[in-house]
Structure formats: structure tokens, C-alpha cells
């Protein structure tokens, strides 16, 4: 999990340095793997000061281009592992240089935030705090989803309609995704009762698959001390996990 967060942080930090820029508005793309840019004018944060990079992210951002030059065919995840190992072996004296830079920039950042807030009206300040809370919750949810993926949580069961869409979407004769979905939705409505029953049965089978995989997965989570990931509707008894 630490490796995944470190890799994601490094990729995001590259965006902060201006590597990923939107050709339309000049704003930074939120994620190096994203094709969508949210223009600056859509954020109520405006020119809100940007947080400085942590010591490790600063080090990683400096090292990643060097490692990529030496190993052009290597995957980013492999390079991040090498950088992480290099950081662990870095002498404390050199680490302190990065930490000192971070602390100095953090002090400047906090001062800039205070000055920024002083210029806001009470209503603007409330809006700013509300947006900040929403972003924190969104980020927390994203981290949670990534963690569950890394822990191998089974995919949720699909409905009969979703199974039909996944099978028919690419075959729909329309250039836009919205148009394809509209055609598929109409085709689903036109299916006969017997035709829909086939997909309903597939959905039931998928539900059985999900329940079995979840039971096994939750047993594993209980064994490794991650009871917080077990559904509340599931009661645990010694050596067994069963749903209500």
C-alpha cells in the first residue's frame, strides 16, 4: 500500500511541476493518467496556495527523470521501487536537507494561506472550508477504493441490465458513448421476457460468485486483523463468517 501511495504521489507531483498542462486553459491536469482537465475558473479556490511536496516526494520527483533516462523501458512502478530503496538507504544528513526544505516551504505556505483567507468575505470563507471538506472526503474515498483493490476485494455483482450493456455496448451503431448507451437502453426495453430471463439468470450466478468470494475474502481480512473491512451485516464466530 505504501508503494502504491508513493507512486501515485510522485506522479501527481510531476503534474505540479507543470509536466501535465491542459492545452485549453493552461491548468494542470489533476492526474498524470487522466485525460480530463478541470479548468481553474471552475474552482472556487482560485489562487489558493499550493501545498509543498513532502521530503520523499521532492526526492522522488528529482530522481524519477534520472531513473527513466537510465532505464527507458522499465515500468514506472519498478522505478518507484528503486527510488524508494534509494531513499531508505540515503544518509540521515542528506534526508535532513530535504526535510529542512519542506519545513521552510511549509512555513511559507501557512503564511500564504493566512493572507489568502484574510482577503475573503465570511461567505467566501465558508464556501472555501466546505470545498476543502468535500475534497478531503473525496480523497479519503479514493484512497479507500485503491486500498480495497490492492487487497483484492471481489468485484460487486452485476445486474441483468449491466451484463446486457457490457455485451452490447461496443456493437451499438453510434459514434458517441451517450448515443450507444441510448441505443442499448432501448434495445433492453424491447427484449422479450424470455430473452431477459437469460440475463437475470446470469446476474443470479454472478451474485452467488460474489457471495462466495466475499465470504472467503472477509475470512482472510479477519485473519490479518482488518475486521474494519468486514461488512456490518456479517457476524463472525470462531473459525466462521456468515451473513445474517
CA 208 vs. chain centroid, Å, equals 28
Q: What is residue 173's predicted lDDT score, i.e. its pLDDT?
A: 74
Q: How many CB atoms lie within 10 A of CB 57?
A: 19
Per-residue pLDDT band for 178 (boundaries 50, 70, 90) equals confident
Query: What are the backbone angles phi and psi of residue 237, rounded to the nearest 5°?
Result: -125, 160
Q: Which of residues 102 and 37 earns the better pLDDT score?
A: 102
Q: Does pLDDT of 15 surpass 70? A: no
- CA–CA separation, 221 vs 216, rounded Å? 9
**In the structure grid, which three cell numbers stand for residue 84, read together?**
524508494
Q: What is residue 132's predicted lDDT score, i.e. its pLDDT?
A: 86
Q: How far is CA 42 from CA 18, 65, 134, 135, 223, in A?
A: 19, 32, 15, 14, 46
Per-residue pLDDT band for 233 (boundaries 50, 70, 90) equals low
Q: Cβ(148)–Cβ(229) under 8 Å? A: yes
Q: Does pLDDT of 49 surpass 60? A: yes
Q: Does the pTM exceed 0.75?
A: no
Q: What is residue 243's predicted lDDT score, i.e. its pLDDT?
A: 38
Q: What is residue 114's predicted lDDT score, i.e. its pLDDT?
A: 92
Q: Does pLDDT of 11 surpass 60? A: no
**In the structure grid, which three cell numbers stand for residue 149, read together?**
483493490
Q: How many CB atoms lie within 10 A of CB 108?
A: 12
Q: Cβ(184)–Cβ(168) under 8 Å? A: yes
- CA–CA separation, 243 vs 235, rounded Å? 6
Q: Could you read off the pLDDT of 69-107 as tens digits, one per residue?
A: 999 998 888 899 899 999 999 999 999 999 999 999 999
> With the CA atoms of 137, 139, 140 and 144 taken in that order, what torsion angle do they form, in degrees rounded to the nearest 10?
140
Amino acid at each position: 500500500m505504501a508503494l502504491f501511495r508513493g507512486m501515485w504521489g510522485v506522479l501527481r507531483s510531476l503534474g505540479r511541476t507543470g509536466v501535465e498542462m491542459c492545452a485549453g486553459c493552461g491548468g494542470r491536469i489533476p492526474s498524470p493518467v487522466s485525460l480530463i482537465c478541470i479548468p481553474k475558473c471552475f474552482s472556487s479556490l482560485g489562487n489558493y496556495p499550493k501545498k509543498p511536496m513532502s521530503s520523499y516526494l521532492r526526492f522522488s520527483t528529482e530522481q524519477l527523470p534520472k531513473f527513466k533516462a537510465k532505464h527507458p523501458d522499465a515500468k514506472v512502478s519498478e522505478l518507484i521501487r528503486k527510488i524508494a530503496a534509494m531513499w531508505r538507504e540515503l544518509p540521515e544528513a542528506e534526508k535532513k536537507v530535504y526535510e529542512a526544505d519542506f519545513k521552510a516551504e511549509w512555513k511559507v505556505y501557512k503564511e500564504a494561506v493566512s493572507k489568502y483567507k484574510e482577503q475573503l468575505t465570511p461567505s467566501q470563507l465558508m464556501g472555501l472550508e466546505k470545498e476543502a471538506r468535500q475534497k478531503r472526503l473525496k480523497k479519503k474515498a479514493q484512497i479507500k477504493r485503491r486500498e480495497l483493490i490492492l487487497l483484492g476485494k471481489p468485484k460487486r455483482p452485476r445486474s441483468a441490465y449491466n451484463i446486457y450493456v457490457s455485451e452490447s455496448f461496443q456493437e451499438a451503431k453510434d459514434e458517441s458513448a451517450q448515443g450507444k448507451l441510448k441505443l442499448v437502453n432501448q434495445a433492453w426495453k424491447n427484449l422479450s421476457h424470455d430473452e431477459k430471463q437469460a440475463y437475470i439468470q446470469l446476474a443470479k450466478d454472478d451474485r452467488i460468485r460474489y457471495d462466495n468470494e466475499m465470504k472467503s475474502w472477509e475470512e482472510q481480512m479477519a485473519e490479518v486483523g482488518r475486521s474494519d473491512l468486514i461488512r456490518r451485516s456479517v457476524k463472525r464466530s470462531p473459525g466462521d463468517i456468515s451473513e445474517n
